[in-house]
Each structure stands twice: as C-alpha cells, then as structure tokens.
Amino acid sequence: MEVYFPAVYVEQAELESYDGVAPGKYTAGLGQRRMAFCGDQEDVVSISLTAVKRLLEKYDIDPRDIGRLEVGTESALDRSKPLKSFIMALFAESGNYDIEGVDSVSACYGGTAALLNAAAWVESRAWDGRYALVVAADIAMYAAGPARPSGGCAAIAMLIGPDAPLDLERGLSASHMEHAYDFYKPAGLYPLVDGKSSLACYLMTLDRCYARFAPESERVGPGLAAHPLDAFPADPAAFQAWSYANRGLEVAALRASADAYEALVAPSTGLALDVGNMYTASVHASLGALVEREGAALEGRRILMYSYGSGLAGTLFSLYARHVAGPFTLARLAASLDIRARLESRRRATPAEFVAAMALQEWRYSAAGYTPQGAPSELRPGTYYLTQVDALYRRFYARREDHDV
C-alpha cells in the first residue's frame, strides 16, 4: 500500500484564532491537530496518479501485472468520465489496456466498495492471475463556516492478490445500507451537511453492523461482547432512537470506553489527526499508518475495520495480519510507507493562505481555459500536478522530477 497527502497544512489551533472561535473548538471539539489542503496545481487526479506511481515503483510492480483497477472517490471531476480513466495513463507505456473496473461513488464508503469488488474478483472464476489495484482518493472541502475545519486530502493505493500479509476475512463482515439525507452533494463544490443526523446515522449503522458481526466473530475466536441492545429487550427501537441523539449518554460512553479506545483504536488515528478528513481514503489510509507504526508486530492479530459513507452505507469487516514470505511482508510495508517522515517535512501554511487557497478552488470550480498558479517547486519530487485545463475542459498533468524548480 502507498499513502499520499499534500506537502502543506494549516494548524487547527491557529485556524481557531483566525476564525475567532473559542480555543479548542476545532482541536478538542473535532479532535484535529492539522489539516492538509491542496493548491490549484493538485486535484483528485494528480493525487491518485502520485499514489499509484509510488506504489508501482516502490515494490517494482510491472504495470502489465495489473488486471483490475477499482477506484473509490466522491471528488469526481466529471459526471461521465471516471477517475480510473486518468490513472490508465500510467499503464499506457507498458501497453496494458486490458484492465477491468471503474469508479465506485458512495460518499466515504466508495473506497471500501472498491476494495470489496477487487477482492471478490481475485477470489472468483473471472480472476486471470494478475493483481488488482484499489485507489481511494478525495479532497474534502467545505464552505466558510463551522464545517470548514473538517476538510482534508489524501489518496491511497492498495495492491490486492493472494498470499497477502493482510488477509481480508470475507466470512467476517456485516453491512447495513439505507436511504438518508445526512450528507450529500446535489450541486456546486461543497456538500450539504446535517451534522447531527450524520452522527446519528453513523452510530446507527455501526450498531446494525455490530449486531450482525458479533455472532460471526465467535466462529474464529473468543468473540465480541454481546450486542448492547440485549439489555433493553422491551423496546430496542425506541432505545436506539433515544440513544443516538442523547449527548449525556454519549459523554458517559466516551468516559467508560476511554482506556479501551486508547489501547485499541488510538494507535490508528494519528494520520487523521494530522491530515484531516480523507473521505474514501480515511479508514484505509489509517490502516496504512497503523502498519507503519506496528510492522511485523501486527502478525497474528486481527484488525477490525468500520467503513461508513453518508447516504448511507456501512460495513464492518476483519483483516487478519499474518507472516508471509516474499516481497510483501508487514515489515517491508512498514519500512516503505514513510508516512511519519513526510508528515514532519510538510510546510505549515498560515490560515490566510488556507483561506486564499479555498477561494481559488471556488473560483476555478468547473472552469475551463486556465493554467494553475501553483508552482511544481511547492510539491515533493515525484508528485504529479495539473499543468493546464484547456478551453474544452481537458486536463493535462506532469510529474515533478528532482531537478524541477
């Protein structure tokens, strides 16, 4: 796997001061330290190209060995042309045009849908013996106001095949799908968000998935705790409706679970704290950060993954970390990811720079006939960037080399 995020960020504490809100509103309230953001020379295509190219180079993957490419995103640039089609440019030099798969669009869940599709292909009679490649990429942006600090940006590329160090246990999963208007993008650059409803939908979906997942987990180990609603048999539906909106109960639950959270969940949240909202890449990029942190120490352990996308879709699934021979050991993955070093090497932008970047994104949204203002020198070597959008809305890209200034 390979994780990409921009080389610039804004401090949430400084953004609090700039916006004139109470100290802690973004840091303690949202649980954020820093937020990554893009200049106009980067977009969802460029970050995807960078993640895929770095993955292929780091692990010396022949582009001809990829037989399926699945993409999850909710930052599409076109209502017809898939993001996957842009990424296919990386396979043109090798002459590999025989790659199945297109985009999955389902809010933050799209990356998980792409992962499950790719795994199903490898396990099916349709598999031709080649790897599948999954890309989850998004740029989260919000209009000026209370939601803006919950933005972010990242892309992750994941190689899918047999004998992997992270085994997707297909018998250990549970999903919940339902219609809701908690977060959606009917028009324009920014989403419409019902924050309270979205939180309730997230918790409800997790609740439903857990109820189905827990009995299945007993087949492979000690099992998970009994479903919390078992203690409320009289009217569980009424209890759910009350609990998802009850702030007092939420605070009590947070206190009661604090130690378990720090031991079992917090080790995987560091990247999100420093990058922000990554939409479809969120849960998978956090997995990458966990792999870098733990490496071979993960072997023999299970990782419980919960992926939720507004609208709504959710899946709770299990990964089993195991020792494997060959080039894709957990130790090698950990050594190759270099997430922490890249986080520490980023440039800290001022809140004013961040606001100006958002204003430029708004101005350029759906525009044609322009050249980005941002310079390649602002990017890390090896990063793809947008060079031009022509009068016909066609987008062109280049890669920054070590000598570019």
At 340-390, the pLDDT tens digits run: 999 999 999 999 999 999 999 999 999 999 999 999 999 999 999 999 999
Residue 233: what pLDDT?
42
Q: Tell me the C-alpha distance between 354 and 42, whole Å.
A: 14
At 181-196, the pLDDT tens digits run: 999 999 999 999 998 8
Q: Residue 271 half-sphere exposure, CB side, CA atoms within 13 Å?
A: 29
Q: Which strand ranges, in their side-by-side order, compose the sheet holding 34-36?
A: 34-36, 8-11, 347-349
Residue 229: what pLDDT?
44
Phi, psi of 80 (to 5 degrees): -130, -50
- Helix ranges (DSSP H) in 140-235: 195-217
Residue 234: what pLDDT?
47
Q: What is the pTM of this model?
A: 0.94
At 223-271, the pLDDT tens digits run: 565 544 444 544 555 555 567 777 788 888 889 999 999 999 999 999 9
Residue 58 has pLDDT above 90, yes or no: yes
318 among annotated binding-site residues: no
Residue 8 has pLDDT above 80, yes or no: yes
Residue positions annotated with a catalytic role: 74, 108
Residue 401 structure tokens: 């080399």
Given its phi and psi angles, is residue 182 left (phi above 0), alpha (psi -120 to 50 degrees) or beta?
Answer: alpha
Non-local (6+) Cβ contacts of 62 within 8 A are: 94
Residue 216 has pLDDT above 90, yes or no: no
When pLDDT is averaged across residues 30-36 and rounded to a whole number, the result is: 95
Range 2-399 classified under CATH 3.40.640.10: no
Q: Tell me the C-alpha distance between 255 and 253, whole Å.
A: 5
Non-local (6+) Cβ contacts of 243 within 8 A are: 203, 249
Q: Would you list the domain boundaries of the chain?
A: 2-399
